[in-house]
Amino acid sequence: MIYKVSYVVLGGLPGIIRNQTKPPTVGEQIEIGGHLCEVVEIVELLPPQGDYAYLHATCRPVEVSSAE
């Protein structure tokens, strides 16, 4: 199965569209344009067709703590 996922980031950062062979999961962290984001919600955007599933994932930016 191929998962075509629309990731939208809360707070105005740009999202990403990408295909992946595993579905996204809540709590998973992904890198979007150099920013680390955490998936907070996943919904089906369109009904599956053939080998494709169409998902929408909402993410929030992960604040990386400084070790300085």
Partner 1 sequence: MDIPLETLRSTDLFVGLSNDEITKLVERGEYRTYRAGETILHAGETGRNLYVILSGQVAVECEGDEALCQTPIVYLGAGQSFGEMAALDAGPRSANVRCVSHEAVLLILPGVLLRRLCDEEGSIGCRLLYNIARDLAFKLRHRNLTGGGG
Residues making contact with partner 1 (CB under 8 A) = 2, 4, 6, 8-9, 12-21, 32-34, 45-46, 50-52, 54, 56
The nearer residue to partner 1, 26 or 31, going by C-beta atoms, is: 31
Contacts of 13 (CB under 8 A, 6+ apart): 32, 33, 35, 37, 61
Smaller CB distance to partner 1: residue 11 or 27? Answer: 11
End-to-end CA distance of the chain: 43
Min CB(62)–partner 1 separation in Å? 16
